[in-house]
Each structure stands twice: as C-alpha cells, then as structure tokens.
Amino acid sequence: MALVTVASLGVAGCGGAFGSVIASGATEGGSDGSSSTGGSETGTGTTGASACPCGPEEACIDDGCYDVGRSAIEAGCHPLSQGVCLYPWPSNFTTVSDAASATGRLLHYDPALLPMTNGGAAFAAAEITDAMQGFSPNSQIRFVSAKGVMSEDLAGIDDIAGSLAEGATTVLVQAESGERWPHFAEVDAVAPSPDRQAVFIRPMRRLAFGSRYVVAVRGLRDADGAPLEPPPLFRALRDGLSTDVPELEALRPAYEEIFGILAEGGVPRGELQLAWDFTTAPIDQAYRDAAAIVPQLSAVAAKGDLGYTITEVEEPGGAVGRVIRGTFKAPNCMTGAAEPGSLLRRDADGLPVCEGTVDAPFVVAIPQSVIDAGVPARASLYGHGLLGTGEEAVSVASKVDGVIMAGTDWWGMAEEDIPNIGAVLQNNFANGRSMPERLLQSVVNFSTLAYLLRGDLAMDQALFAEKTPLIDAAAPVAYVGGSQGGIMGGTTMAIAPNLERGVLVVGGANYSLMVWRSTAFSAINQIWAAHMPDPLEREFLFSIYQSAFDASDPAIYAEAIRSAPLPGNGPRQLLLVESIGDAQVPNVATEMMARTYGMRMLGPAVTPVFGVPTVDQPIDDVALLQVDTKMGPLPPTTNEPASDDNGAHGASADGPGVQETIKAFLLEGVFASKCDGVCDPD
C-alpha cells in the first residue's frame, strides 16, 4: 500500500504530500496533559458556515476562504499538516490523555492510517507504541512545507552552534527549563520533490526524559527563495483569527502556552512560520526492563558457575596462540530457548522474568604473548559487528597484545537473526520488539560470560600454560566492542553489573539517526524495500519504531553510565573511538553519543566537536578519541549513505598508537593518547 496521503483520503487540493493520519479525534493537549476530541469547540469560537460560504475543502479564516484540506482534518490529520497528516512530528497531537501515565499522555496511532506493506500488513502500533507515555527521546523531528525550504537558511550539520544563535531559524526549547537544545536542520536529500521534502530537526544531544519540548520555525524561505508562508490555520492561531474549524479551535489553549514559552525564550510570536510541542517518555519507562533484569542476573550468575562446555581447542599459531570454543549457560530472560524472534518473558505486571538457563556460544582467543609470558593476563569481552558472530574476537586478540579476548554472539543482531529481521520488516514491525528485547538478553549473556571468565572457566586446563592459569581472575573483566559491538557497548556497560571499563570502537547511538547514513544498513534496507518501496515511508516508520528500539539504544542509557547508575551498579569508564569519515557508523552518531554521555576529547582533536571540549586536566571517566585513517572519500553530509565503504570504519584501530592507547586503558584504566600528536598514519 502506498503511503497514506490526504489525496488518498479523497481530499482535493492538498498538495499530494505523503503523510499518515492519527487516530480520529486526537488533538494536541495543554501542559496539564489533557487532550480533547477534534469535535470539541473550544478556544475563541468559530465563525460558522453562514458567515463564509467556502468550498468543501476550505476553511473560513477571518471571513476569508482558504484551502486547508478539511476532509483530512476531519479524518484526524493535524490541522497544520500541509498535506502530510502526521507532520509536524512528533507532536502531542498524536497522543491521548491518560491519568495513570507519568506524563499524562499515551502515544496513539491508528495503524489503518499508517503506511502498509505491499502485502497489506498494517503497522504494529499496539505492540510498538500504544503503551508509550511519550515520544522517544531519540526522536528525529520534522515538518513539511508544500513549497519546500531553502536549505541555506538552516543551521546545518557543520553549524550546531548556529542552532543556539539568537536569530536561529529553527528553535528547540525544553519547556520546563527554557533551555535551547542543540541540533542541526537539513532538508531530506532522498525526497523526490519539494512537496514531499521534510525538514529534519535533529537533536545533537539526546532529549531529556519526561519533558515537554517546543519547536519553532521562523525566517525561512521556500525552495524558490520567497518568504515561507505559514499554513493558513497556523496563521489563524498565531494572529488570533477566528475559524470554522473546531479541530483547530481545540488547539488554541495549548498554543497560547506554546507562544508564551517561545516569547520567554526570545522568539516573538509574530515571527513564527510554524510551531508545535511534544512530550518525551519518562526515564522509569525507559529503564524498566533493564532495572528488573539486573538483580536477577546478579543473583543467578555472579558466582561464575552456571556451567559451560568446551567443544574445540585450536592452536592456530601466529599472534593468537590458542582459541577455545564452546557454549555456556546464561540466565534465560526470554520465552522458549531465546531463539530469534522470541520476546522477554514477563510477569503479570509486565516485568521481565529470568527463569532457567539458555546455551550461548563463546570463543576465547589467547594471544601468543600471554602464553609465552606464562603469567595471568586480564580478560576482556569482545562485541562483534552488525550481523556477525563472536568469532571476531580472534582477529581482535591479534591486535590488542596482552589481553585475552572472549566473544559471544550479539543475539538480536547476529547472523542468525537475519531471517527474523526480514520477517519483522516484511510484516510492518509485527513482533518488532523481538530485536531490542533479544539484544537485552545478549547483555545478560555477555555479563554471564564475564562472570564465567573469573569463575569456573578461568580454572579450566584449556586456559592454562602448563600449571599456570592464563586468566587473571582477580582482575575485573573489561569490554571491547567494534561497530555494532561498539554501539551496543554503551548499553552493555550501563546494564551489566560486573563491567566497569569499556572501549567502544566506532560506536555511536540513536539508530533512527544513524542507519540512513550508513552503508552497513544497505542490505537490510534492500530487504525492506521489497515490501515497502517508498524510502520516505521506511524512514518515517523507523522513526516511530525507535520508541521500541530505545530499550537497547545506548543513547537512552547515558545517565546509567555515570550520574545515575542502575541499582547495584557503579559508575563506568568509557573510551569511545571515532574514525573520521566513517561510512558505516556516521560521525554525527558517534559525536551525538559523546555529547550525550558528557565526554571530553582525549588528545589532540582531528576536528573540533561541538560540546566535546579538549581539556588540559586528566580524564578519568568518559572520553572520545578521534582517529583519522586518511581514507576517503568522505561520506555525504546529507541523510544518505556513501556509494561504497571507504575503509575508514574497518581501519579505525589499525594504527599502533591507537592500539597502545586502547591497551593502556584496558590494562591500567589510563586515559592517555599514545599517538604522536593526532591519531593518523603520519
């Protein structure tokens, strides 16, 4: 099914832009969390048809007739949609009031009015969003103007500071504090025409939990260079003009608050071309599953004695002297055998329950230097790349001399998960929670393996050199992740109770930001395109899906790393490695993560990063290390992937200075760049 447009609803003269319709009657509520039905006549009152004999798709605004797509509004579209029913998005318009919610709201989408797959599968709103008490703090904000927008007027990807300037054309304000939020804005490079071209407003620090945000647009020109005309119904709200549109009149109380918040922030009402508000989900909802899993994991696995089976011991020679493969038992928090497509097992209150155990694969790679030294060495977990396996730990052990590497599969995004990922996309995110929830089971697996490396497995003769154990069981196990493992490393470090020090090589955060700029997503995107050909449909649905994926997205767990650890956990040390020009994990996602986590720059910066300062004093908590591999060409700065991978991603940790920096951090907890100046081949 094509994306639901106001034209496809039988509405004439609405510009033909794509869009989705919310549940009929949901309207934007005020700051008290209330919402009202579209048919309620509140606000300043209406003019009435007799005063203004307009056409069926027109509204009477101050005694003049304007085409507003009335049928679409009556069907449930946002009155300010300009042909794209759910835009501007996210918006409190797409919520209903709920007294039991921490925010007073629940998200509410009508799946019949969202894009469907070619096979007629409706979006799985009941599973993905209906219980959410606000929008994802990772939301990618957007609006559409029927005549497009001139991109030169926007504070772009290289001008985040410009979004905070006094005269910024896009303004994002946290209502409670009045703080302006750093972001960049861009036009959709994938859209085929201006009337379908979204303007994205991309927060460059994760949004706060349980907070109301106000978005403002001013001073923009359309694609032809003329001043951007505000939607007629927005002009009515802004200028206090009467209308005969009850759905709009229901918005007036909330909009008076919006205008007041913006005025206090230095954005005059009369300058506005568009404005709206939305509310983010609360932290208790975001952390609910992880907080329930941690004590169960600690109680069952902390002794490191759940059991394991060694199936192979190999001595390949070279830098890696010994490889041990097998399976280990981990607490099972999933239904069934935790196979691809399974979900968390939950109790009557909806909380995860871990019962019994499940077998997971492991591989331990011991550097030859450790065997030759004949003294116990520190062990580290290794998290593999997208759709890979734990076998990647073997190659990593050859690069980080003196550290024993142990890997397992990233369930949820491992090679064996490919069929389930395809099925989720084919069925419009039905069973879509299986991906982030199985990733949480993987965190359990990694943590259990870390316990095992300091428990029974450390005492197995396969990990001895003659009579000497090769694993230093007294030393805490660290974590190293690359690519997907670097991304999920933030989540793992926040949740696992027994991991204190982690290296995230080419990590990043916020999937709805990064995947569209990544060459690594191309294969999945092709699978999806076979069932939903329109790329604009895919982008929008993934943005909605982010609410479910937040359960495993590392941007969500920033507070749990240092300032507010999960109960029973302590603060963590993190080293995040960024490869300049990375075509797989885009720099914008890495830098957004660094900014959200409060990182400082380690060593000389390759290029300055807004909000990530280079400091003289020692770093002892979280840091960003930039690497310039000199590989190119650089990827596009727009929301599209490079045509080919340029190699910067895979070469990020190949330099000896980078490897020594990582090794010093893993073994000693020291944040010190071992590169001679900037980390580059020179």
- Residue of 277, 215, 231 lying closest to 83 (CA atoms): 231
3-state secondary structure 119-160: CCCCCCHHHHCCCCCCECCCCCEEEECCCCCCHHHCCCCCCH
Contact 573, 478 (CB under 8 A): no
Distances (CA, A) of 202 to 67, 143, 286: 31, 12, 20
What does the pLDDT read at residue 47?
40
Give tens-digit pLDDT for 388-436: 999 999 999 998 889 999 999 999 999 999 999 999 999 999 999 999 9
Q: Could you tell me which of 11, 15, 4, 9 has the C-alpha nearest to residue 82?
A: 15
Distant-in-sequence, close-in-space partners of 260: CB < 8 Å, separation ≥ 6: none
The average pLDDT across 665-672 equals 94
CA distances from 229 to 104, 244, 272, 274, 425 (A): 34, 21, 10, 9, 38
For residues 451-478, give the mean pLDDT: 96
Q: What is the mean pLDDT of residues 48-60?
A: 79
At residue 27, the pLDDT reads 36
Sorted by sequence, the CB contacts under 8 Å of residue 565 that are 6+ apart come out as 494, 571, 572
Q: From CA 535, how far away is CA 196, in angstroms rounded?
A: 11
Q: pLDDT, tens digit, for every residue of 549-572?
A: 999 999 999 999 999 999 999 999
DSSP string, 203-245: ESSPPPTT-EEEEEEES-B-TTSSBPPPPHHHHHHHHT--BS-
Other beta carbons within 10 Å of 419: 10
Looking at the DSSP assignment, which residues form a beta bridge with residue 419? none
Choosing among 3.30.300.30, 2.60.40.1220, 2.40.30.10, 3.30.70.20, the CATH entry for 49-281 is 2.60.40.1220
Residue 325 has what pLDDT? 98
Q: Mean pLDDT across the stretch 295-304?
A: 96
The Cα 45–Cα 246 span in angstroms is 8
- The two tokens of residue 497 are 């109770």
| Burial class of 207 by CB neighbour count within 10 A (0 to 12, 13 to 18, 19+) | buried
Distances (CA, A) of 493 to 124, 381, 444, 554, 678: 30, 11, 11, 9, 27
Q: Does residue 8 have a pLDDT over 70?
A: no
632 or 523, greater pLDDT: 632
Write the pLDDT tens digit of every residue in 12-30.
333 323 333 323 333 344 4
**Mind listing the pLDDT tens digit for each residue in 74-114?**
988 899 998 788 899 999 999 999 999 999 999 999 887 78
Radius of gyration, CA atoms only, the chain: 26
Instruction: Give me 46's structure tokens.
Output: 């209406």
Which of 40-49, 186-195, 654-663 bottoms out in mean pLDDT, i.e. has the lowest?
40-49
Q: Which residue bears the tokens 């303007």?
A: 199
Cα 542 from Cα 169, distance rounded (Å)? 27
Q: Is residue 62 pLDDT above 70, yes or no?
A: yes
33: which residues sit within 8 A by CB, 6+ positions away?
A: 97, 101, 103, 104, 105
Query: What is the crossing angle of helices 418-426 and 434-453, to 10°?
Result: 160
Which uninterrupted H or E stretch holds 382? strand 379-383
Segment 227-234 mean pLDDT: 96
Q: In whole angstroms, what is the distance from residue 232 CA to residue 379 CA?
A: 64
d(CA 129, CA 85): 18
Q: What share of the chain in percent tops pLDDT 70?
A: 93
Is the pLDDT score of 41 beyond 50? no
pLDDT of residue 51: 66
| d(C-alpha 656, C-alpha 382), whole Å | 19
What are the residue ranges spanned by the domains of the chain? 49-281, 283-417+428-481
| 268-277 tens-digit pLDDT | 999 999 999 9
Average pLDDT over residues 526-545: 94
Phi-psi region of 677 (alpha: psi -120 to 50; beta: other; left: phi over 0): left
**Within 10 A of 541 (CB to CB), how many other CB atoms are there?**
23
The band of 603, judged by pLDDT with boundaries at 50, 70 and 90, is confident
Contact 586, 651 (CB under 8 A): no
Q: Cα separation of 674 and 19, whole Å? A: 51
